[in-house]
Amino acid sequence: MKTVWIVYIVILVYYLLGTVGIYFINRRKEPQIKRKAWIKHVNYFIITNLVFFSIAVNPVIFRYVAALIIIVGFYELFKLYRGSGFSHKGFFLASIIILASLSIGFYCFSLMDKGLILFAFLIIAIFDGFSQVSGQLLGRTKLFPKISLNKTVEGLIGGSLVAVLSAFVFKNLFTASSLKAIILAAVVVVFAFLGDTAKSLYKRKYNVKDFSNLIPGHGGFLDRFDSLIAGGAGVTLLGLIMNF
């Protein structure tokens, strides 16, 4: 438990760094935009804490959280499809198959060792957070302008570097060499990025900003947990290959 609290303190330091970044990003923006940014940032902190402690206190709790995320995710996917008048049927069916495959991997991830789950979750959270901060501070080159206007090359690079290097900070959460920790972090980042991109593609196809408004500042469950679902599935796949 002592290790968990040390890790939590480190996460608070990361959050404070992100807070500084958010301040510089929004200091000259309009009050309404600032307010939305801070609501999103605060809710991100709350959500991160809830998931963190669901894993740290008792991983069984996280299994229920994972099941809830999956169920609501399918609901949100179908809701947009229904709202479109059941258009793009082939695209929807392909999306269902992809989400189902990732969800199976994600739930298997929730059954793994607590330290491994915590490590992967922290890498995903850091990647998500610092991709946004570095993208907004340094972003100039659009990554996929036809899919998502907010994704930039600089944001991807910044978030990936911080996340992968953080593997050295959290590698003691589970039994693995530095090399394995780096490989795991890199795989998690790749899957998290692909999951986020797939989410953006689905929303663009159905011409919506968010999947729902369940989480203030973030949108729906798939808007917030897409990276976690895909990243968790990536850990499951790598575990089958490298026997984690």
Could you report the average pLDDT of every consecutive run of 10 residues in the chain (244 residues)? 80 91 87 88 92 92 96 96 94 97 97 95 94 87 83 92 94 87 96 94 92 88 95 95 77
Instruction: Output the pLDDT for position 107.
Output: 98
- Write out the residue range of the structural domain in which residue 208 sits: 2-242
190: helix, coil or strand? helix
Residues 6+ apart with CB under 8 A from 160: 127, 131, 189, 193
End-to-end CA gap in the chain = 22
pLDDT at 56: 92
Q: What is the pTM of this model?
A: 0.94
Beta bridge partners of 142: 152
DSSP 8-class letter at 214: S
Question: How much is the pLDDT for 159?
Answer: 93
Cα 113 from chain centre: 20
- Structure tokens, 82: 């229904």
- Distance, in Å, from the CA atom of 20 to the CA atom of 17, rounded to the nearest integer, reads 5
Read off the pLDDT of residues 120-177 as tens digits, 9 standing for 90 and up: 999 999 999 899 889 888 888 988 888 887 789 999 999 999 999 999 999 888 887 8
Yes or no: say if 55 and 118 are a contact pair by the CB < 8 Å rule: yes
Give the count of domains, the chain.
Answer: 1
